[in-house]
Amino acid sequence: MPSLTYRTAGESHGRALVAFVEGMPAGVPVDKGFIDGELRRRQGGYGRGGRQKIETDTVEILSGVRRGKSIGSPIILQIINRDSRIDDAPEVNRPRPGHADLAGSIKWLTTDCRETLERASARETAARVAAGALARCLLLEFGIETFGYVLAIGPVTATVDFGTPLADLLALRDAGDLFTDWVACPDAAAAEKMREAIRHAKTQSDTLGGVVETRVFGCPPGLGSSMQYDLRLDSRLAMAVMGIQAFKAVEIGMGAQSARLPGSKVHDEISFDPKLRDTPTLGFLRRTNNAGGLEGGMTNGQPVIVRGSKKPIPTLGPQMALESVDLKSKETSRAAYERSDVCAVPAASVVMENVVAFEIARALTDKFAGDSLTEMKANYTSYMEAARKL
Ligand code: EPS
């Protein structure tokens, strides 16, 4: 069985976006309704642009699934673009600072930035969400759940009580209408301020970025490895999150702040409660989780906490268009204006939750490798039994 991996194909205004997923064991129940729900959430958020009014993203499963379950063969997920006009879309000759336009045009030797922007567009994240949501069907079989939310938009930061049961956090996060007021933030007071900040940015023809966080609950200890840099789960998570369009920083647990504090304020002391031996923690507890559930590149049984920082959308409104250069005439000019979003941070929280989930699923299949879900579950059970006997 190959390792669980995926690749995507497709342009923003091409015919479709596609994810090619390999290494999914046989026998995993695939919930198309759940994948579609995640695609729908990705389209939502206060501050989104006109494109989402055109699209209704749903997944077509072209291969690898029979009668609702994976059969071990490669799985192709397809999302059709309604706004499919790549051959007719006009040239873009004035690169937008912050987008891939200039670097890509030079790299691929063209003065038409569209050749680059069509693939660089964050529309591609629909395919990544589909792959991640598919991976979550596997995670659910092992009681592993993810929670992605918006921690900050522009200057507004939320406060979230993670003592709250997950079902309540989900209800708080998903309150309101997906398209007219959703900001994916479980702190209602901060959510209102975030909407105000987005409204204000829009009146200024400006855009806003923010911080999104994903927490993963129920991981057994020992996913990932300290043996090589690229087997460390934190390095894989960092790559997956940094690979999301417009992300400029990734943190695990306490993250960058830990560099400024002494060790006594950073590391999570260990205790043991035999009553919790049968949980994924195996009974090992921490009063704090500054490590974000990862030590030595491996899960330690605590929730995995990953944060990503997204820069503001580079396409500013026409009144604020940034200075650029026409690639044909080389004359100073304002950057081109393409229809865009004021703020896509809520959507980014959905993307990050699903790409993080895919990496957890990859580490899970690496650790409990098996051609079928039955075999994986047997491997999981025997490992946990052996670990309990330590
Ligand atoms: C997006 C689709 C795009 C943009 C946005 C994300 O659609 P269009 O370019 O047709 O308006 O709304 O793309 C970007 C922000 C970007 O940086 O490329 C989507 O489906 O998420």
- The CATH number of residue 110's host domain is 3.60.150.10
The closest residue, in CA terms, to atom 18 on ligand 1 is 121
Please report which confidence band the pLDDT of residue 339 belongs to, taking 50, 70 and 90 as the band edges: confident
Confidence class for position 319, pLDDT limits 50, 70, 90:
confident
Burial of 249 (0-12, 13-18, 19+ CB in 10 A): middle
Q: What is the mean pLDDT of residues 68-75?
A: 98
pLDDT value, residue 206: 95
State pLDDT tens for residues 52-63.
999 999 999 999
Which residue's CA is minimally distant from atom 12 of ligand 1?
A: 340
Q: How confident is the model at residue 147 (pLDDT cuts 50, 70, 90)?
A: very high
Domain limits for position 241: 5-388
Q: How far is the CA of 356 from the centre of ligand 1 (A)?
A: 21
Q: What is the pLDDT, as a whole number, of residue 216?
A: 98
pLDDT tens-digit series, residues 72-105: 999 999 999 999 999 999 999 999 999 999 999 9
Residue 352 and residue 59: Cα distance in Å, rounded? 19
Q: Which residue's C-alpha comes closest to atom 10 of ligand 1?
A: 51
Reduced 3-state DSSP string for 60-107: EECCCEECCEECCCCEEEEEECCCCCCCCCCCCCCCCCCCCHHHHHHH
Pocket of ligand 1, beta carbon within 6 A = 12, 49, 51, 83, 121-123, 125-126, 245, 313, 338-341, 344, 347
Nearest ligand 1 atom to the CA of 50 is: 11
Please, which pLDDT band fits residue 11 given cuts at 50, 70 and 90?
very high
Going from the Cα of 122 to the center of ligand 1, the distance in angstroms, rounded, reads 5
Instruction: Give the pair of three-digit tokens for residue 278.
Output: 């049968």
Q: How many Cβ atoms sit within 10 Å of the Cβ of residue 309?
A: 21
DSSP for 216-245, please give it: EE-PPTT-B-SSSGGG-HHHHHHHHHHTST
Of 340, 345, 349, the one to substitute when testing ligand 1's pocket (max ligand atoms within 8 A of C-beta) is 340
**pTM value?**
0.97
Closest ligand 1 atom, residue 54 Cα: 10
Residue 108: exposed, middle, or buried by beta-carbon count in 10 A (0-12, 13-18, 19+)?
exposed
Distance (Å) of CA 23 to CA 59, 72, 131, 134, 361: 19, 7, 12, 12, 10
Q: Quick one: pLDDT at residue 2?
A: 81
pLDDT band at 303 (very low <50, low <70, confident <90, very high): very high
| Cα within 13 Å of Cα(259), Cβ side | 4
Atom of ligand 1 nearest to the CA of 314: 17
* Block residue for tokens 């990859």: 362
- What average pLDDT does this structure show over 109-126? 98
Q: pLDDT per residue over 234-274, tens digit each?
A: 999 999 999 999 999 999 999 999 999 999 999 999 999 99
Closest atom of ligand 1 relative to the 120 alpha carbon: 18
What's the domain count of the chain? 1
Token pair 């069985």 is found at 1
CA of 339 to the centre of ligand 1 (A): 8
d(CA 12, ligand 1 centre) in Å = 7
**pLDDT > 90? residue 337:** no
Q: Which residues contact 14 (CB under 8 A, 6 or more apart)?
A: 81, 84, 86, 118
Give the pLDDT of residue 318. Answer: 85
CA dist 252 and 254 (Å) reads 6
Atom of ligand 1 nearest to the CA of 49: 12
- Ligand 1: which of 54, 96, 116, 123 to mutate, most ligand atoms within 8 Å of CB? 123
CA of 220 to the centre of ligand 1 (A): 37
Average pLDDT over residues 220-227: 98
Q: For the chain, give the number of residues.
A: 390
Q: Quote the ligand 1 centre to 119 CA distance (angstroms).
A: 11
How many whole angstroms from 340 Cα to the centroid of ligand 1? 6
